[in-house]
Amino acid sequence: MQIGIIGAGASGLCAAIQSKQLGMDVHLLDANASPGRKLGATGSGRCNISNQQAAAMQYFTDDQNALQKCFAKIPSVQVLTFLEACGIPTTASQDGWIYPQSYSAANVVDILMDDLKHIDLHTSTLITEITRTTDGFILHSANPALQYRCEKLILACGSPANPQLGSRAILYDSITRLGHTILPVRPALSPIETDPAPFHKLQGVRLDAGVELRHENKPVAQNIGNIIITQWGLNGPGVMDISHWIDPGKPDSYQLKIDFAPRCGGEIERALSAAKNAGRSLQALLKAYLPAKVVDFLLRQTRLEAHLHCGDMHQSQKEGLLHAIRNQIVAVRGVRGFKFAQASTGGVPLGEIHPATMQSKRCPGLFFAGEIVNVLGPCGGFNLHWAFLSALIAANGLVEKERD
Ligand SMILES: Cc1cc2nc3c(=O)[nH]c(=O)nc-3n(C[C@H](O)[C@H](O)[C@H](O)COP(=O)(O)OP(=O)(O)OC[C@H]3O[C@@H](n4cnc5c(N)ncnc54)[C@H](O)[C@@H]3O)c2cc1C
């Protein structure tokens, strides 16, 4: 059977290798001159390929029930076994983030390319439209003289995030004509622009913070993670993981509440009152827990003397300081957009796809894999995990359908 796969990114490469192994005649098409461009840039070049905590509940989607079925169909260990069989053994960091043993995204692409040797690969082939025929699909390319026919089609064409790596968002109209809804596509895992005034002396600071996104003073999303304070706002997983909650049409109605001590706030509170610290200067005590720039910032804001002895502090001063540590409010100005986003939300609803096969409920013979589907994970390897997991289900699924 002839299988067409649009997109030779993480999910398309995986789907191509798996369906070829299952005996299919695979044609893999990509607009870029070389496959896996985004995959080759992941994890700052180190390729954070999966996560030990990968499970449906970690993801944002329109159909949590369907996502649970996907994770039940291909347990996480099977994704890692597939990668190992492709020649990509993996290793996990202490916090459960999984990387290839080589810690090289470029090597991962090269290894997957080696596995593609017997697959018909068409690079520099932009598919502009897909039409349905009685026995399959016609894929229309940007070159009017070139059309491709296939009996089954896997759409693995990703999202518009990071267009500088060759992402495109031109097939949504075709997908709509094939019967699907397209949920609004928004940048996700994006830095957040904020009012630069409150934190302007903290530029360059990087720390683990508690982050609460508030809309019109009501909490919308919370996270604890690393943040980096910049001249335009906040970067890092701590804020990126919740950036998709901001409506890009009205960013000014959001605020971020930052907790500089999400894990050690209680410890700081006890240390301030501990007898053994009575003669210690406030500045020295805070430096045990927080970056120096944050300590100076907090002392300025609370008007407390750096050399004040902890034992000489009034209760109200301690309370004011602890409040400042845990409740910094900064106004949101916007999300940095697709150019800086690592992923997207929206696209094809998972609810319109059979989770056991990734086959469309609307258009038989059409399968989906990867970020084109409305499934978003946080930073930490979850999105590549989904790309591989959904690709394996789709490749297995179209073969199952064929044998039915
Ligand atoms: C800078 C950066 C770092 C990241 N780091 C990580 C990380 O460490 N861990 C993690 O889990 N996730 C990471 N991500 C997210 C992860 O890369 C994506 O979720 C994943 O690559 C999605 O895989 P995909 O196959 O769905 O799409 P892609 O990998 O984007 O592949 C889609 C492919 O389809 C092709 N295509 C699109 N439209 C057409 C068309 N019309 N015709 C022909 N070809 C087409 C594109 O050229 C592309 O090659 C990162 C993302 C970015 C941008």
Quote the percentage of the chain above a pLDDT of 90: 94
Atom 35, ligand 1: residue with shortest CA distance: 7
Decide if 362 contacts 178 (C-beta within 8 A): yes
CA of 171 to the centre of ligand 1 (A): 15
| pLDDT score, position 167 | 83
pLDDT exceeds 80 at position 1: no
pLDDT digits (tens, 9 = 90+) for 51-86: 999 999 999 999 999 999 999 999 999 999 999 999
- Mean of the pLDDT values across residues 210-215? 98
pLDDT exceeds 60 at position 404: no
- Mean of the pLDDT values across residues 157-170? 91
Confidence band (pLDDT; 50, 70, 90) for 259? Answer: very high
Decide if 222 contacts 378 (C-beta within 8 A): no
Within 10 angstroms of residue 199's Cβ, the number of other Cβ atoms is 21
pLDDT exceeds 60 at position 360: yes
Average pLDDT, the chain: 96
Tell me which CATH code domain 2-188+339-403 carries.
3.50.50.60
Which of 14, 28, 38 to probe ligand 1 with, by most ligand atoms within 8 A of CB?
Answer: 38
| pLDDT score, position 402 | 55
CA of 37 to the centre of ligand 1 (A): 8
Q: For ligand 1, what atom is nearest to the CA of residue 126?
A: 42
Confidence band (pLDDT; 50, 70, 90) for 207? Answer: very high
Atom 39, ligand 1: residue with shortest CA distance: 157
CA of 158 to the centre of ligand 1 (A): 5
Q: For ligand 1, what atom is nearest to the CA of residue 161?
A: 53
| pLDDT score, position 400 | 79
Atom 6, ligand 1: residue with shortest CA distance: 42
Q: Which amino acid is at 56?
A: A
C-alpha–C-alpha distance, residues 296 and 352, integer Å: 53
pTM of the model: 0.95
pLDDT digits (tens, 9 = 90+) for 238-254: 999 999 999 988 999 99
Instruction: Select 191-336's CATH number: 1.10.8, 1.10.1740, 1.10.3470, 3.30.70.
Output: 1.10.8
Confidence band (pLDDT; 50, 70, 90) for 117? Answer: confident
Residues in contact with ligand 1 (CB, 6 Å cut-off): 6-12, 29-32, 37-39, 41-43, 48, 126-127, 156-158, 161-162, 165-168, 170-171, 342-343, 370-371, 381-384, 387
| pLDDT score, position 85 | 97
Q: Indicate the Cα dihedral angle 249, 251, 254, 259, nearest 10°.
A: 140
| pLDDT score, position 267 | 97
Q: For ligand 1, what atom is nearest to the CA of residue 369?
A: 26
CA of 137 to the centre of ligand 1 (A): 23
Atom 11, ligand 1: residue with shortest CA distance: 381
CA of 10 to the centre of ligand 1 (A): 6
Structure tokens given for 174: 């075709």
Domain ranges of the chain: 2-188+339-403, 191-336
- Mean of the pLDDT values across residues 368-381? 98
| pLDDT score, position 403 | 56
Q: For ligand 1, what atom is nearest to the CA of residue 162?
A: 53
| pLDDT score, position 144 | 86
